[in-house]
């Protein structure tokens, strides 16, 4: 599949979708695609934001949003790709955050060392959750993940003298120290933003590699993957440990920022696990970028809602009270109307609009029928891998 037009080919977009895999296209041509340009502009916009008249308070919220975005991407790595929905991802976030805090407060370990320790311990937690995941199938795994953070929370409450129980621990040393608080916030903003981009890059590369394709195939048909001679268990465990380590990293750094603190309500409560799921579904499961943006949006918008003074018409309560309810309803609408999430939908509509602007004939599935092939780019990696394995899956029946 190359840039050759496919005249009269109704499902041209599906065929050419393969070119969207970075591997098949040369980097030079793909980097000029509108969506990459848009992405680049987005990065630039975030980079100059602190100098665009934004207040320190808003910057603080954005710092939190970056970490929540990283956390959402880590959820997406395991749940969006392998289809093993984790209902308790906050476990990893909390293990990272609490480990780093305890080492820092209890033993005076500097964040530079306590954060890696948090990442390692979160990865170990990933193994502990991942191994049962290999033994059971179907809904059992989701039950385990739903229950694991509840157990951890119980342990935190029982050993309240160490873990601070429901109230949590006091804040550990900050990442940067400067006499001026605004400077500290600014530095934290760029650390958070840089880490967000780095994690997005890492997970993007991993999920677009052959490993990502295998994970997607596992989601579609585990037996087919096993029949192809691949060790399903190994790949699932890899996804779990990678996801846990990234989630742990996000949690461990988050507690050292001015806005994050080691408390169950921020790191471990059931709502945290649900919020990350909502964020990733809103953004688009199985896309990494969508999940990351969904996380940033969720955190930021949640804060905006919490600042609002107006009340909801029927219930007669403030919007700030009802923010989670609003998100839950919004997510239900998205799951119904745009099952793939907002980000893939936006890409597809953008591509369709572009095609129309160029006067191309638009195929019913959103691809362009002739002319410059659209390089498939509303399709998620999940769809592309499904397409690639479709023949195999259908033979199977």
Residues that bind another protein (CB under 8 A): 83, 85, 87, 132, 135-136, 138-140, 142-144, 146-148, 150-151, 154, 157-158, 270-271, 274, 277-278, 281, 315, 317, 321-322, 324-325, 328-329, 331-332, 335, 339
- Least distance to another protein from the beta carbon of 139, Å? 5
- Least distance to another protein from the beta carbon of 242, Å? 21
Q: Please name the residues in contact with 190: beta carbons below 8 A apart, sequence gap of 6 or more.
A: none
Which residue do the tokens 């605004």 mark? 182
- Least distance to another protein from the beta carbon of 111, Å? 32
CA dihedral for 174, 180, 183, 185, sign (positive or negative) = positive
Q: Closest Cα to residue 100, out of 121, 75, 72? A: 121
| φ and ψ of 17, to 5 deg | -55, -30
User: Facing residues of 201 across strands?
Assistant: none
- Least distance to another protein from the beta carbon of 224, Å? 17
- Least distance to another protein from the beta carbon of 332, Å? 5
- Least distance to another protein from the beta carbon of 383, Å? 15
Tokens of 14: 């599906």
Q: Rounded distance, CA 4 to CA 225, Å?
A: 32
Nearer to another protein, 21 or 275 (CB): 275
Q: Rounded distance, CA 332 to CA 288, Å?
A: 20
Helices 111-135 and 232-254: crossing angle in degrees, nearest 10, is 150
Nearer to another protein, 54 or 328 (CB): 328
Nearer to another protein, 42 or 132 (CB): 132
- Least distance to another protein from the beta carbon of 359, Å? 38
Q: Rounded distance, CA 56 to CA 183, Å?
A: 10
Nearer to another protein, 31 or 147 (CB): 147
Q: Judge contact between 218 and 226, C-beta under 8 A.
A: no
Nearer to another protein, 38 or 158 (CB): 158
- Measure Cα distances from 64 to 122, 185, 251, 267, 311 in Å: 20, 11, 10, 12, 26
Nearer to another protein, 109 or 128 (CB): 128
Which residue do the tokens 């937690």 mark? 125
Q: Judge contact between 25 and 19, C-beta under 8 A.
A: yes
Nearer to another protein, 281 or 347 (CB): 281
């Amino acid at each position: 599949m190359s840039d050759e037009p496919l005249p009269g080919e109704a499902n041209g977009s599906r065929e050419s979708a393969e070119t969207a895999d970075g591997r098949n296209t040369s980097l030079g041509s793909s980097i000029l695609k509108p969506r990459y340009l848009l992405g680049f502009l987005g990065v630039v916009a975030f980079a100059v934001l602190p100098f665009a008249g934004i207040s320190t308070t808003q910057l603080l919220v954005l710092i939190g949003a970056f970490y929540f975005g990283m956390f959402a991407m880590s959820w997406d790595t395991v749940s969006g790709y392998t289809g093993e929905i984790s209902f308790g991802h906050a476990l990893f976030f909390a293990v990272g955050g609490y480990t780093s805090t305890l080492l820092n407060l209890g033993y005076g370990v500097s964040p530079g060392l306590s954060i890696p320790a948090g990442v390692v311990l979160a990865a170990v937690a990933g193994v502990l959750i991942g191994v049962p995941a290999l033994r059971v199938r179907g809904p059992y795994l989701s039950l385990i993940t739903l229950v694991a953070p509840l157990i951890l929370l119980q342990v935190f409450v029982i050993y309240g003298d160490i873990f601070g129980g429901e109230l949590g621990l006091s804040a550990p040393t900050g990442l940067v120290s400067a006499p001026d608080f605004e400077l500290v916030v600014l530095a934290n903003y760029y650390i958070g933003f840089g880490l967000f981009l780095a994690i997005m890059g890492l997970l993007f590369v991993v999920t677009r590699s052959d490993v990502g394709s295998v994970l997607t195939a596992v989601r579609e048909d585990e037996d087919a993957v096993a029949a192809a001679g691949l060790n399903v268990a190994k790949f699932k465990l890899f996804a779990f440990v990678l996801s846990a380590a990234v989630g742990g990293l996000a949690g461990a750094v988050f507690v050292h920022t001015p806005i994050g603190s080691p408390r169950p309500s921020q790191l471990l409560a059931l709502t945290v696990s649900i919020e990350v799921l909502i964020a990733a579904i809103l953004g688009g499961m199985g896309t990494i970028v969508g999940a990351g943006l969904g996380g940033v949006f969720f955190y930021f918008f949640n804060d905006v809602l919490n600042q609002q003074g107006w009340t909801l018409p029927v219930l007669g309560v403030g919007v700030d009270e009802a923010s989670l309810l609003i998100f839950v309803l919004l997510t239900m609408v998205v799951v119904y109307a745009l099952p793939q999430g907002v980000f893939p939908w936006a890409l597809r509509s953008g591509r369709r609009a572009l095609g129309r602007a160029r006067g191309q004939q638009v195929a019913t599935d959103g691809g362009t029928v002739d002319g410059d092939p659209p390089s498939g780019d509303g399709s998620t990696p999940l769809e592309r891998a499904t397409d690639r394995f479709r023949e195999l899956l259908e033979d199977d029946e």
